[in-house]
């Protein structure tokens, strides 16, 4: 696991705690705005984690493919990134 993946994992663990806190806040009938703020913090952490994982993929998997002589592997990585971008942008 590289540094980007480790940081992504750290963000996911924190997001998991935030999500559990939001669920507990609902169970405790806490103020809706406070619950929403907890959910927004969780979403922000998930986005940070995803950014790290995508960057790791680009720096390692995609870079390795483009440093190889395998044209099919290069196309596969381009297709993966294109599909991912479509998901992120929609």
pLDDT for 88 equals: 87
Closest CA to 9 of 44, 50, 41, 43: 50
The model's pLDDT over 22-35, given as tens digits with 9 standing for 90+, comes to: 999 999 999 999 99
CB contact at 8 A, 77 and 66: yes
Helix (H, G, I), strand (E, B) or coil at 90: coil
Closest CA to 42 of 74, 10, 19: 19
d(CA 14, CA 42): 8
Domain ranges of the chain: 3-89
The model's pLDDT over 35-69, given as tens digits with 9 standing for 90+, comes to: 999 999 999 999 999 999 999 999 999 999 999 99
Residue for token digits 């998901």?
87
The CATH homologous superfamily of the domain defined by 3-89: Metal-sensitive repressor, helix protomer (1.20.58.1000)
């Amino acid at each position: 696991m590289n540094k980007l993946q480790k940081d992504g994992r750290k963000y996911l663990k924190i997001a998991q705690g935030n999500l559990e806190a939001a669920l507990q806040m609902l169970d405790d009938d806490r103020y809706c705005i406070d619950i929403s703020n907890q959910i927004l913090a969780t979403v922000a952490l998930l986005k940070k984690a995803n950014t790290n994982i995508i960057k790791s993929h680009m720096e390692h998997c995609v870079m390795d493919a483009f440093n190889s002589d395998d044209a099919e592997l290069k196309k596969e990585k381009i297709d993966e990134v294109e599909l991912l971008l479509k998901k992120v942008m929609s």
